Amino acid sequence: MNAYRPGFEDVCRVHLSPDSINWYGHIAEASEELRQQIKRMRRDRMSPKQFGLYVKAHPDRLLITAANKMRAGERIVVNQNFSGRIVESYLLPFDKRINEENEALIAEYWQKKFGCAALEETGKGWLATDAKISEIEEFLTKFRSHADFADRKAAALNYLRALSDKYDAGDVLLISVSKKGEDAGNHLLGTQERTSARRDGDAWRTSKDRVASRGDEKLGLSDSQKHEAAALAREDGDDKKPSDFHFRSARKKPLLMVHVLGPVGGDPDARVPSFGLSFPPGHYQTEVEVVANQVWIERMQGGSFDTPDEEEDYDE
């Protein structure tokens, strides 16, 4: 029987756990992102050595390397490079009090415009142009993340500081869906539905470990920046529209995106703040040091990797 004949598709169906589905989706997105990075590095005339060092410090590569090399009680020091990448708080606190505190923090910084003279409407919220990096750093430091995301947030903040001599300002997007409870007068963002998120202990975990919608990084770009992103996509030989990586490249500075998600998972009343911090490409030799152990690996990737010593040998 040919399992691929019409009517027999279910015979060859593969069933995966939610962790596996998330991880394979993450790998697909990371692979596409790395492909675009390679083309960018070729345009920048990077040497093979520089390219090798960048790949060596790629966060996803480090997850695999550390998981394969360390035993449970060991610690290793690794370097991470977030050039051209986005870090999003995909692990979200279930604690309503923490989420309310984060919403109050968003309202506070929204009210003071992240230190800018004015906010610009984007059609999906507001943009604070050229907010001081120190203001962005202060907001993220105060923003309460889930404990299992603390290491990733700290690494992203350290990378932002490492770039502070190159950028004294970045953009901030307050992303809001107007018909979903937006109340600008009281500084409440309209929520973005994430019913695909699942409960993971005392946290929500978003699908594919992503928070922003595709194209969110286009918000607030000038026409010339949008044209530049389209030109970069054509240079890369992409028939499709520009990706967020191309918008990231055209923005040429760090970007903080602030969201409030809801409904989340099976909770129709949830309002869960989240953030994403993206970095422009081109800083392939700027790295931050991270001390990693088995707990770090599990936090970074949800425990979906097993160490060789923990695997059962069913052939014995």
Token couple for 9: 């598709």
190 part of a folded domain: yes
Q: Does any domain span residue 178?
A: yes
pTM: 0.76
> Is 151 within the bounds of a domain?
yes
In a domain, 28, yes or no: no
The reply to whether 220 falls in a domain is yes
Describe the crossing of helices 244-251 and 223-235 by its angle, rounded to 10 degrees. Answer: 130
Inside any domain, residue 120: yes
* Averaged pLDDT score across all residues of the chain: 82
Give the total number of structural domains in the chain.
1
298 domain residue, yes or no: no
Q: What is the pLDDT of residue 74?
A: 64
Q: pLDDT by residue (tens digit) across 54-89?
A: 555 556 555 555 555 555 556 666 778 899 999 999
Judge whether 47 lies within some domain.
no
Q: What secondary structure does DSSP assign to 133-200, as a single string?
A: HHHHHHHHHHS---GGGHHHHHHHHHHHHHTTTT-SEEEEEEE--TTTT-BGGGTBPPPEEETT-EEE
pLDDT one-digit tens code per residue, 13-61? 666 666 666 656 656 666 666 666 666 666 666 666 555 555 555 565 5
- What the block records as the tokens of 12 is 């060859």
Confidence of residue 241 (pLDDT cuts 50, 70, 90): confident
Domain housing 238: 78-288
